[in-house]
Structures are given as C-alpha cells and as structure tokens.
Amino acid sequence: MSQSVLASATGVAAQAGRRRTFAVISHPDAGKSTMTEALALHARVIGQAGAVHGKGDRKGVVSDWMAMEQQRGISVTSAALQFSYRDAVINLLDTPGHADFSEDTYRVLTAVDSAVMLLDAAKGLEPQTLKLFEVCRQRSIPVITFINKWDRPGLDPLALMDEIEQRIGLRPTPLTWPVGPAGQFHGVIDRRTGTFIRMQRSPGGADLAIEEEMSADEAKTLFGTDWDTSVEELDLLALTGADHDQAGFLAATTTPVLFGAAVANLGVRQLLDVLLEMAPPPAARPTDTGAEQPVDANFSGFVFKIQANMNRAHRDQVAFVRINSGRFERGMIVTHGGSGRPFTTKYAQQMFGQDRDTIDEAFPGDVVGLVNATALAIGDTLYVGKAVRYPQLPSFPPEHFAVVRTTDTSAFKRFRRGIEQLDAEGVVQVLRSDQRGDQSPVLAAVGPMQFEVATFRLESEFGVKVHVDHLPYETTARTDAAGREILRGEAGVEVMTRVRDDTLLALFPNKWRMRSIAGRHPELNLDA
C-alpha cells in the first residue's frame, strides 16, 4: 500500500472513531422528540428546546418538521440530526414511536451503531418499546437506558431495574442514581466518581439545567432521608454487582442506566457524555455474503430512507444514505448496486431535521442526504471499486388495506405522482387491482395511521383530496400466476400486484381463511 493511500485510510479510520451514530427509541409519549431536542440543546446547536411549550405548540421541535407532526403532536417520520459535541460528530436519528410506523423505525435501526432506550418513569417498559428492543437484540445493537420524567411521580427505581432485567434480559448497570423519589428529583449520584450533582430546572425550562456538584455532607444536610435512601439503594446495587461492564454493554448483554427529565434538561448532559465515552463508533459491517466491509475500505453506503417535499419551495426528494466505509466526497461518481450503473452525487447535504447544508465530505457513521436522487430506492447500496451489497432491509407484511380515489379528474396526474412518491418513500405499499383499475390504487399498511399520513400528504403536498374505502383483509401471502388462477374461484379473496416490484400478493380476510384454502389446494403456492 502506498504512503498516500495508507495516510488516507488512517484518516478515514480516525474520522470514523470520532462518530457516534445512534437512534432514540421509545413507546409513544415517553419523551423521545423532547430528548432529541434536549441533546441538541446541550450540544448548543439550538438556542432553546422547542418541546417545553407542550404538544399544542411544537413548532420549535426540529425533528418534528412535518406539518402533520406539528398539528398532531406526534412523530410520524424519522429524522436525522448531525451536530458536533466536544471533539465528536453526533449523528442522531429520531424515530416515530407509534407502532403504525414500525417499518420506518426498523429501517432506521439498520443505520445506527447504538440506541438510547427511553422509559417513562411512571410506566416502565411499554409494548412498543419492547418490540423495538427486540430489533436491537436481533441486530446486537448496544442499548443505553434513560429513565425519563423523573421530575414527575413514578415507579421505584429499584423496581424499574428489576423490570428491565426480568422482561428483556439485559442486566441494568446504573451509571447515575437519583436522589429523591420520582416527582421529587434533587439530582443524581454519579456512580463512577461518587460525586453528587444537584440539578435544577432553568427558569422556564427551555435552557440548560442548572447543575452544582456538592459533597455528601452538604447533600445529606439538604435532602435528609432522600439522601439516605439513595445511599442505601446504591449499597444494594454494589452488593448485586450492578456495575458497568463495557464488554457486556458492547455485546448487548448489559445496559448502562441514567436518570433524568428531558423536558427540563435534567440528566441530559450526562447522557451525551456517556454516548461519547462508551457508545461504539462505526465498525466493519457485514455484507450480504457474510464478509465484513472495514470502515477504511473504499466508499460504500446504503439508502435507508427516502423523503420528499422537505423543502416545500422546491418539492425535492432526498435519499438518506448511511456511510459504512471510506470517505465520501460531494460530486464523486459511485456505482448504484441495483443497476450497476454510475451515479453522480452532485447534490449532497448534511441533515438537521428539515434544515440542510451542502457538505463536501463525510465519513463512516455519517448520514448524507442526496437530493433529487430519484433513481435510488430504499435498501439500495452505493459503492466505489469492488462491488458491495448490504443485507436486505426488513419489510413488514401489511395488515390493513384501503382503496384510495380522487373525484377531481383535473387532479389525476398530481394524484398519481403523489401515490408514486408515497410508495417510493415506503409510507405505504401501493397495490394494483385488476378489478379496480389504475385510477383506484389499493394502499397497504402495517397500521391504519399510515392511511391518515398518506391522505394528509396527498392534500397538503400535492393539492389532492381523496376518499378512502377500507377493505376487509388482514392477511397477505406472496403467490404466482398459477396461484392467481386458483384463487379466482375463491370468494372473499383477491390477488393484486405490488407496484414496487410486480410481486403478486394474495389478500385474505384472516389467516384461518388462508389456511383453509391452502388445505384444499395443496398445489397452491403461498409464501407468507
């Protein structure tokens, strides 16, 4: 290897070592978008945390940029934010918490190196958090746990530790421990240093929290029995060996735990510091052959998200690319893995919610937005040099189906363009039904709220009002042309074509109906 190439490879590895790319996962209303804001505030890239105004006025929330998110007070699409903190580059991916948008969240989890699992202090582990954690487990993603909303009444901290260990099998190893029960939060003891950090909400709560290190004697004088209780709980943790184990954390068998309140910016600095000090940087990634692509190899990356109309003035489309290896340079010519054709990366941008800035270079762990890259699809690989393909992104079988129509014939072109865009983004799957024709496509979704997003965006972004008729199907299976002929004679069953890839899908009212038909037609090819 030449000296220049060696220097370049070393530079890439060093830059990768500075990156921390992680997702925030939680059940809806656990405070995920608020935490995203608070982390960005602590890195001093926003002046105030927008979420402190409450869900009725979320315009300041940089990760919830879509009109529907601001109106409804929920996250319906993932967002990427890149910023610097200390000497590191942070790539933070905010995810929608609602189960109806699980597919978007699951794709995001393929693009991160670690995750922050946010738990509501009053509710502990909730169903959607459990589902998302299982994805982290399957991918061996290290997880940091943040017990949120400790400024409100909640559960006992030791009970929360037991719940984590019993229900998800991760051994919790608290790094900070609260002084004061949930609802009476005085601050935390840092178990690594033994110091007590008193925390107070700033006036109005929109700025950085007020922190003060205090001695044990001072804390005992101020907080009395609350201090004594916390010290006793720490002694119990020490007896059970609940100390941080870096190897166990990286192996995804233990989870560091911190306490705080994101809406008041309490404990957020500690979380950000832990992410820098303990979360893994980008590492070699497995390809579809089982081999690993080192971070200092030639450039490669994959598309994990498509989003249109982030800039309403230009109505552009952005492909979000996670860089896995090598140095990315704006304008470089890469190979599109799907077609084998050259692809020019002229319009490359760094993302910060809805805001974007042109970038000239990026490194492993970074998320780059390629603007107007309409030739790219979710899951596509881009590379330079030797061909690289990364494993296929997870896909969920749809369980909800609806016919969508517009009665305004003058808007049909915009209607079709909007439907194609939603399909490309993975907001919904679009099916073509022979009996309904191209003017009445069928939308397939994991959850019914996806239909609300689709209709809202068709009207707000494409100016098309639509009518939605729900269909009585819950179960799908892939089939073939012979299967379509067999199923023509079965009542209450339809076979449609998935527009994205021309796959034939058989739709059944329920899984029992599918099993009954399959039992009567053993020659029928069904792949659920």
Question: Annotated binding site for GTP: which residue ranges?
Answer: 94-98
Q: Helix, strand or coil for residue 354? A: coil
Q: What angle is formed at CA 151 by the lines to CA 150 and CA 157, rounded to 5 degrees?
A: 25
Residue 388 token pair = 């690289």
Q: Is the dihedral of CA 228, 234, 237, 241 positive or negative?
A: negative
Type of residue numbered 413: K
Angstrom distance (rounded) from CA 304 to CA 111: 7
Burial class (CB in 10 A: 0-12, 13-18, 19+), 219: buried
- On the CB side of 201, CA atoms within 13 Å amount to 17
Residues 65, 307: Cα–Cα separation, whole Å: 12
Report the C-alpha gap between 89 and 271 in whole angstroms. 15
Residue pair 78/307 in contact by the 8 Å Cβ criterion: no
Which residues have a Cβ under 8 Å from the Cβ of 13 and sit 6 or more positions away? 295, 296
Residue with structure tokens 């014939």?
409
Q: Which residues are annotated as a binding site?
A: 94-98
> In sequence order, which ranges of 110-261 are alpha helices (DSSP H)?
127-138, 157-168, 216-239, 246-250
Residues 6+ apart with CB under 8 A from 40: 46, 49, 62, 81, 83, 92
Structure tokens at 203: 């006036």
Q: Which residues contact 114 (CB under 8 A, 6 or more apart)?
A: 20, 21, 22, 141, 142, 143, 144, 275, 279, 280
**How does DSSP classify residue 346?**
-
Long-range contacts of 180-183 (CB under 8 A, 24+ apart): 180/223, 180/226, 180/230, 181/154, 181/156, 181/226, 181/229, 182/121, 182/122, 182/149, 182/150, 182/151, 182/152, 182/153, 182/154, 182/155, 182/157, 183/150, 183/151, 183/152, 183/153, 183/154
393-396-397 Cα angle (round to 5): 140
DSSP 525: -
